[in-house]
Structure 1
Amino acid sequence: MSAGQSPIDTFLSEAAEILESLEGHLLELEAAPDDSERIGAVFRNLRTLKGSGEMFGFSALAHFVHRFENAYDAVRAGRARVTPGLIDVSLRARDHIARLIEIGTDPVENARIERAPEARTLVEAIDACLGAPGGAGDSSSPAGRATPGQPAGAGPRRYELTFAPGLDALRNGMRPAMLFDELAMLGQTEIACFTDEVPCLDELDPTACHLAWKIRLTTDRGRAAIEDVFIFADDGAVTIGDAGPAEGTDGGAGAAGVPAATTQMRTIPSASAAPDPDGRGAGAGAARTESVRVQSFRLDQLMDQLGELVIAQARLNRIADQMREPGLTGVAEEIERLVTGLRDATLSIRMLPIGMVFARFRRLVRDLSGELGKDVQLVTEGGQTELDKNVIDSLGEPLVHLIRNSVDHGIETVERRRAAGKPEQATVRIVAEQLGGEVLVRITDDGAGLDAAAIRARAIERGLIAPDADIAPEALYQLIFEPGFSTARTVSNLSGRGVGMDAVRAVIGELRGTVEVHSVPGRGTTVTLRLPLTLAIIDSLLVRVGKGVFVLPLPSVMECVELPAAEAGRESGRSILKIRDQLVPFVEVGHLFGFETDPAREARIVIIAAEGKRVGLVVDDIIGQHQTVIKSLSAYHRDIAGLAGATILGDGSVALILDPPALVKSNPPISLEAAW
């Protein structure tokens, strides 16, 4: 738990991770219903949720998960099997658990939700799945209720337990009453409480546990089920004694007159336990500290401080260059080396595998397939590719829109696929790969492809293009990202309002990324998201225009060429340069931002790539590469088209960061149609 974070916040964070893991295991189990490892993983997820929920007062959560857990306990024990119906109800139950976590610990709300029809319906559905043919069998039969540690047909047995929690047990969230309620669900219980260790009132600490209990339990569930109840009671010592068959059953190995076998359960020492004098527990302690949970805002603070350090280091380098003092130069170089290492280490902390985002889409594709009556599988590749945490946090919504669009609009029905000679099962593929300073995320489907004629007709209808416009397919496909653009003539609960793709471009633009679309009729569509590795510090190219300095993100820069004098002096209004048999439109950066430029200068053109197009930016000079710390613009400058932010240079001056995609879309001098 990180400093300043409450135990409840820690539980909520861990519960979100467990639910994501649970959903993944359930979907994997659907494809391999006999996978014992996945069955065990689902059971452990549920057991952890129930135990943690009990500790922190989520009573409705604990009671519901207990019924859910029983189902997979039966599957794990071989009394039931995994069926499509069980997976369906399990996924619905998982969603219900998420809502129970949102409700919190309010007792009134918990009581209301426990009595809600939805909870009862889910419990009945779970029980119905277990009672299906090949499922749990007759629950009234002893054999049908056998569990690990209890042979089938052995009948009920009597166990004697002692439970003596540690002094810190209550402070650490353990609730003995909940454990006893769970024991009562296993069978008949008789509980005696020992108060011998309770101090006098003047010395009593109300947060400490001075009690111990002795429990007599009659159950046919076996020792393993009892041990499961106390699996999270790490602060206490539990002993379980087998006192033999219950009265009225036949004898056996544990018959009356045979001494009861007593075992001591292994318990995990609490955080307050004394250190191991022999050091034999060092390995376990080291394993528990291999990772530390840190709140994201602390990483943001660290990144901000690192950015200031990079700026200060650039200023130091500039001063050292001006003074030409060997001693100062040596110190500046050493500090630069240390700052570079610190920068790389800090950025790596913020990098997370993009597979964390991919995992949640398997459920989305499954649900959409069922709702639309289509057979679609999701395939992901490159999940180990890493991206900045803030980029990953913002990437979920755009990918949801793109996947929904592929399944709803791109993928044909089974009948149409069969008629077209395609496999009945369609495929949506998400592939991520790192390319230089960018990460490319491709969403590909093998559906019908985009209908260029319908897109063109809709664009003409809305006045986005002229009826006689000659526009390339790639540029035409970009129109689907216009606000409110949709070729659907009817509105459904999934699509037709034209807001999804607009949101995709807006979010990707805020991340300083670009969207490219490629489609082949009858074969499918590929949408490529180009994203920066990080949003904090980027590699860039510094250019000078007049008296100002601008920054271009290096991944967008393709090449730099001289501007021919004939082109520089042309006043025809058509600014197009031919580079290696390709027409590239270009624009004067100085004219865009009101800088005066010398017509007689030796100008250069920086060719950038944006949204699948090549555009030239005319500048006075190219200064060189630079590590740029991105600073947000003020509220007065935030809406200026073509600017993505600002940075502070080594001499203390401010340089504006250009936004290549925005420049392409906002510049009247750039005649893209003429270039194509």
Structure 2
Amino acid sequence: MSGAGDPAEIFRQEAAELLEQLEQALLDLGRRPDDRGLVDTAFRALHTIKGSGAMFGFEAVAAFVHDFETAFDRVRSGLAPCSPALVAAALEARDHIRALIETPAEAEPGRGTALLAALRLAVEGADAPAAPPGVEPPGAEPEAEWLVRFHLGGEALVNGANPLLMLDELRALGSVTVTALTEAVPPLDEIDPESCHLGWQVRLRGRCSRAAIEEVFIFVSDDARIQIERLDAPATPVAEAPAAAPAAPVPAQPASAPSTPAQPAPAQPMAEKPRGEGEIARVGGSLRVQAERLDALMDRVGELVIAHARLSQIASGGEAGLTTVAEEIGRLVAELRDTTMSIRMLPIGSLFTRFRRLLHDLSRDLGKPVELVTSGEETELDKTMIERLADPLVHLIRNAVDHGLEAPGARIGAGKPEAGSIRLSARHAGAEVLVTVSDDGRGLDAERIRASAIEKGLISAEARLAEHEIHQLLFQPGFSTAKEISAISGRGVGMDVVKRTVEQLRGSIEIATRPGRGTDVTLRLPLTLAIIEGLLVRVGDGCYAIPLSAVEECVELPPPEDGRSGGYSLLQIRGALVPFLRLREVMRCTTPPDPHQKVVIITAGDQRLGVVVDQILGSHQTVIKSLSRLHADVKTFSGATILGDGSVALILDVAHLLEIGEEEGRRTRMRQAA
């Protein structure tokens, strides 16, 4: 397996980012075809991929992107409009580039040729108005003559730069005359074979801009000495600049040539100034690190948290000096934990942008115009959470477009805009992140869901379910209300995967629907999967941890309630009735209860539940350890943690406790009604 330092792996990582930029630019061009900035962004991404691919040995990528770039250059030059057919062909070509980079052995033979033909047809077959003879097409560069001198840095060849490729790219811009600059070549016995001693002078005439020439040197501009000078002044009746003198060493700063008011100022080199301390700081502002190393760092921090808990327990013996050291180490451990967790946090906007392409393709396949609206892109979430959220959100979006949004004619008949709307939003709510997928479609039909569930044998015809319980049937394996099976949905696969994945992330799903107006599906997720603050409680002889983010308050259990034999009861807290559940009964404890029991009020969304425990032991930094596969079906616990004395405490699953409380409440109401 390639390591992080492997040049090919570095290229793949950078190419993935460039392909993402290319895709976003192409999708934006589908909506704003006249935006020259977007065209330039797409062209720069292609140009960079081509240069990097050739540099790192991806010849098939470089060759394909070169032809792709040539076709797209007609749009950049204003010779052809950016049509929907071109955007569609360019997106497919982008997918082919990714296949050539990631899995070249699996790339379909002949697909590249077919895609390039489609690109040429989209560009050359466009009904672009022909320019009259002698008239420049809009946006086309006028013909110009340039003088380019460049010396590569001493380490350029070692770093993979190839001057022959740069000369080839300059030749593609027009007619060129190339002269080698040999004045810096040392005697033979002093030559370093790994250093570049030659320089080049290129006289170029063609329809190209300064920016196009600068892009040739995009990978070496930091260390190279490059001078670009225009020899002919546009729209100025002056004689052509004299031919270049015999090669001379390129100075650190170009010499100032005598000029007249009509002459342009001498061109400045692209990169000749030395890097100062500030520039070095900017270059070192970010660092690419393997995800495995971050995971290993998080594991070590977790072990450090456990070791500190043990130290604190030993220091509680009363020795002042040891207690002071334990407190100082605790402060440092907390800061290290927070810093490490912040390194793993990424803005969720990096996930949202992936779905623009999905909606583009769904809109085309289903014939439904769809607009994507996003908000809260800056909301940060653990990188592992973001990676595992991708598939659930894909299923939710596909279902929203296929089942939720009406056909264009039906929308117009209902007084809605022809184009449907899918909204992705994220926001913080305490120690949770709420990710919501909303549509403005027809909403959920509870009776239709119930009828389908009865038909499939998921519930009995006599079952009485609340509306939110009916909505949860959507997440049952094999459930679907689609009348026809399509390539998008209808087989009952997907929504159960969503629920299973969200539960594995210790999250929950809420559904809110408005008949005729749309549906909101909200995923409630913890910020991180590694370390949380927990409230340690004792029930019988066992210790358990409750995520502190779900704890609202702790109160004493009043004597009247304390005297009841069990079951589902209500507690009055500041005028509000809160149901409570005895953990002793859930855990089937046989030891006698403590005389003064406590109630921990936990919340999730609008639900509140009191959990009766024997004793509250205090807060605890909880390092979450996954349960074994043998305990995968035990829903009461979401994991385990190690305490300071080496014992294990199970972490209670708040969502499951709320479900137990709701089920007990339903049974109590049924008994009372009977």
Task: Write the mapping of 1:488-567 to structure 2, written as runs, cut at 5 A.
Answer: 488-560=482-554, 562-563=556-557
Which has the higher mean CA deviation after the structures are superposed, 462-471 or 9-18?
A: 462-471
Displacement after TM superposition at 1:498 (Å): 1.4
Cα 1:119/1:297, change in 2 over 3 Å = same
Could you tell me which residue of structure 2 aligns to residue 387 of structure 1? 381
Could you tell me which residue of structure 1 aligns to residue 120 of structure 2? 127
Cα 1:133/1:634, change in 2 over 3 Å = closer
Partners of 2:537 and 2:545 within 8 A in 1: yes
> Unpaired runs of 5+ in structure 1?
246-250, 270-274
Partners of 2:149 and 2:228 within 8 A in 1: yes
1:459 to 441, 446, 453: 453
The letter of the residue matching 1:471 is L
Cα 1:349/1:233, change in 2 over 3 Å = closer
Task: Write the mapping of 1:34-49 to structure 2, written as runs, cut at 5 A.
Answer: 34-49=34-49
1:647 counterpart SS class: strand
Task: Write the mapping of 1:53-202 to structure 2, written as runs, cut at 5 A.
Answer: 53-104=53-104, 116-131=109-124, 135=128, 137=130, 143=136, 148=141, 150-151=142-143, 164-187=151-174
Q: Distance in 2 between matches of 1:624 and 1:308?
A: 20
Could you tell me which residue of structure 2 aligns to residue 362 of structure 1? 356
Q: Distance in 1 between matches of 2:134 and 2:659?
A: 73
Partners of 2:227 and 2:269 within 8 A in 1: no
Partners of 1:611 and 1:661 within 8 A in 2: no
Could you tell me which residue of structure 1 aligns to residue 269 of structure 2? 266
Which has the higher mean CA deviation after the structures are superposed, 224-233 or 347-356?
A: 224-233
Q: Distance in 1 between matches of 2:295 and 2:420?
A: 41
1:670 counterpart SS class: helix
Task: Write the mapping of 1:412-423 to structure 2, written as runs, cut at 5 A.
Answer: 412-423=406-417
1:481 aligns with 2:484: no
Could you tell me which residue of structure 2 aligns to residue 630 of structure 1? 624
Could you tell me which residue of structure 1 aligns to residue 340 of structure 2? 346
Partners of 1:237 and 1:265 within 8 A in 2: no
Q: Distance in 2 between matches of 1:145 and 1:380?
A: 35
Partners of 2:78 and 2:139 within 8 A in 1: no
Partners of 2:568 and 2:661 within 8 A in 1: no
- Calculate the TM-score normalised by the size of structure 2: 0.85
Which has the higher mean CA deviation after the structures are superposed, 389-398 or 251-260?
A: 251-260
Could you tell me which residue of structure 2 aligns to residue 442 of structure 1? 436
Could you tell me which residue of structure 2 aligns to residue 272 of structure 1? none
Displacement after TM superposition at 1:482 (Å): 1.2
1:228 to 200, 215, 222: 215
The letter of the residue matching 1:93 is A
The letter of the residue matching 2:166 is L
Could you tell me which residue of structure 2 aligns to residue 305 of structure 1? 300
Residues 573-622 of structure 1: per-residue CA shift (max 9 Å, x gap) = 85343657988765543444453231574444444445865555442222
Q: Distance in 1 between matches of 2:448 and 2:56?
A: 56
Q: Distance in 1 between matches of 2:156 and 2:244?
A: 32
Displacement after TM superposition at 1:171 (Å): 1.8
Partners of 1:429 and 1:443 within 8 A in 2: yes
Partners of 1:162 and 1:212 within 8 A in 2: yes
1:575 aligns with 2:568: yes
Partners of 1:130 and 1:136 within 8 A in 2: no
Q: Distance in 1 between matches of 2:376 and 2:342?
A: 18
Compute the RMSD of aligned alpha carbons: 3.8
The letter of the residue matching 1:230 is F
Could you tell me which residue of structure 1 aligns to residue 664 of structure 2? 670
Alignment coverage as a number of residue pairs: 647
Displacement after TM superposition at 1:556 (Å): 3.0
Displacement after TM superposition at 1:382 (Å): 0.7
Q: Distance in 1 between matches of 2:376 and 2:597?
A: 42
Partners of 1:238 and 1:264 within 8 A in 2: no
Q: Distance in 1 between matches of 2:63 and 2:130?
A: 23
2:323 to 326, 329, 335: 329
1:432 counterpart SS class: strand
Q: Distance in 1 between matches of 2:600 and 2:14?
A: 48
> Unpaired runs of 5+ in structure 2?
246-256, 258-264
Displacement after TM superposition at 1:266 (Å): 3.1
Q: Distance in 2 between matches of 1:256 and 1:434?
A: 64
Cα 1:103/1:189, change in 2 over 3 Å = farther
Cα 1:139/1:560, change in 2 over 3 Å = farther
Displacement after TM superposition at 1:297 (Å): 1.6
Q: Distance in 2 between matches of 1:43 and 1:635?
A: 50
Partners of 1:630 and 1:645 within 8 A in 2: yes
Q: Distance in 1 between matches of 2:102 and 2:171?
A: 28
Q: Distance in 2 between matches of 1:597 and 1:50?
A: 72
1:285 aligns with 2:272: no
Partners of 2:511 and 2:519 within 8 A in 1: yes
The letter of the residue matching 1:35 is D
The letter of the residue matching 2:218 is I
Partners of 1:583 and 1:675 within 8 A in 2: no
Cα 1:600/1:353, change in 2 over 3 Å = closer
Partners of 2:579 and 2:661 within 8 A in 1: no
Displacement after TM superposition at 1:381 (Å): 0.7
1:598 counterpart SS class: coil
Q: Distance in 2 between matches of 1:383 and 1:552?
A: 30
